[in-house]
Amino acid sequence: MGRTALVLGGGMVGTATAWHLQERGFNVTLIERNEIGRETSYGNVGLIQSEASEPYAFPHDFRTLARVAFGTANEAIWHLRDLPSVAPALLRYWFNSFPTRYARISSSYNAMIQYAVQEHERLLTQIGGSNLIAKSGWKQILRTQRGMESALAHARHLSSSYGTEYRALDSRELAIAEPSLKIPMAGGIWWTNPWSSSAPGQLVEHYANGFIQQGGTILKGDARTLSRTASGGWSVRTVEGAVEAEQAVIALGPWADTLTRSLGYRFPLFVKRGYHRHFSWNGSLATPLIDTENGVALAPMLAGLRIATGAEFARRDSVPDYTQINNSEKLARQLLDFGNPVENTPWKGARPCLPDMLPIIGAAPKHKNLWFHFGHGHQGFTLGPATARLLAEQMSGNAPYIDPLPYDPTRFPSAL
């Protein structure tokens, strides 16, 4: 059958995988049940976060834990109804956030993050420039002196550990840099090297167009119909009938378990849900802003000003609770003047997370010619092209550009 592959899932992760495999001479069919880049990879804040060398840890300080537990933290909320199903993964997440483990995990996280911008750039260079990207970084804005001091300590730590570049802005400098801010802030951290996109879903489509130009095929189909062929390859049902290939990649983001479970894997995948809503707005920001003390992102998008939330610990499919996005809107209105909502209801999505904060990338231990590529948590939009390169190198038998071991599926022996 030659070098052929099915990539299941057309988010940032699957689309970048399809592109990398096609570039290495595979004949690739990308399977998506809806439209390309219309789920989690559409609804995010659009940051390509080269500064995110360390993943989001489970909080261990008493003050934050108490705020989250008593429901006064807008950046992270939870629901009693969903606690029994999410608690086991959260417990492991909490355990992995202890300093020694977290330091080891961060080193593996940084190994991917440091190539994130470069790997997006590689795609953009090959496919042709995109006007959907700004290269001016993003700003963390702090309301309180206490918040500013803690943000500054974190920035200094990232700078000394990983060489991350930033500029600390005092209250006056921030007001000059972002004149649309209505209230005086304690200050800000300007992460100068990250990129941002004004239409994250369209950027994924742009990459998908590059994949098609290289000879790739995109078909609508249901990944859950994946089955073995007599020759040891894989087949999936699409609107154009069954499509077969030698290899298959599961890149279904927060839905990965809808297929991996039926294949006999029980990975501790859980989600941190998030919401956004666009608002009409005539103003401008020099960069996207995040009010980190409240977990509110303010990102200028083609569709309007996108207000996005932090984490909601809930089951992926339980009913939406708009409290967090409504509170975020109120908090954002303290900061900027903007108009009415563009959509009737807020968008809801789910960050695909694993308790050790690392994605699963590599060969399926129990199935020949099957590969996993999911669980990118808070930074899948950032990491998609970088981890796609890693997986494509493994599938092609080329030397991987970073050590693949920390992301290998076998690190969860009880899931196999």
Residues that bind ligand FAD (CB under 6 A): 8-14, 31-34, 38-41, 43-47, 49, 222-224, 251-255, 258, 274, 276, 308-309, 349, 351-352, 374, 376-382
**What is the end-to-end Cα distance of the chain in Å, rounded?**
28
Nearest distance in Å: CB 192, ligand FAD: 16
Nearer to ligand FAD, 223 or 336 (CB): 223
Q: What is the DSSP letter of 132?
A: T
Nearer to ligand FAD, 110 or 382 (CB): 382
Nearer to ligand FAD, 33 or 154 (CB): 33
Nearer to ligand FAD, 29 or 40 (CB): 40
Nearest distance in Å: CB 146, ligand FAD: 25
Nearest distance in Å: CB 78, ligand FAD: 16
Distances (CA, A) of 207 to 3, 137, 367, 389: 21, 21, 29, 14
Q: Which amino acid is at 100?
A: T
Q: How many CA atoms lie within 13 A of 127 on its CB side?
A: 26
Nearest distance in Å: CB 132, ligand FAD: 14
Nearest distance in Å: CB 288, ligand FAD: 8
E strand spans, 79-153 = 133-134, 138-142
Nearest to 146, CA basis, from 115, 193, 185, 113: 185
Nearer to ligand FAD, 180 or 379 (CB): 379
Query: What is the CB neighbour count within 10 angstroms for residue 273?
Result: 24
Distance separating alpha carbons of residues 373 and 370, to the nearest angstrom:
10
Structure tokens at 370: 């099957």
Nearer to ligand FAD, 186 or 386 (CB): 386
Nearest distance in Å: CB 350, ligand FAD: 6
Instruction: Find the radius of gyration of the CA atoms of the chain.
Output: 21
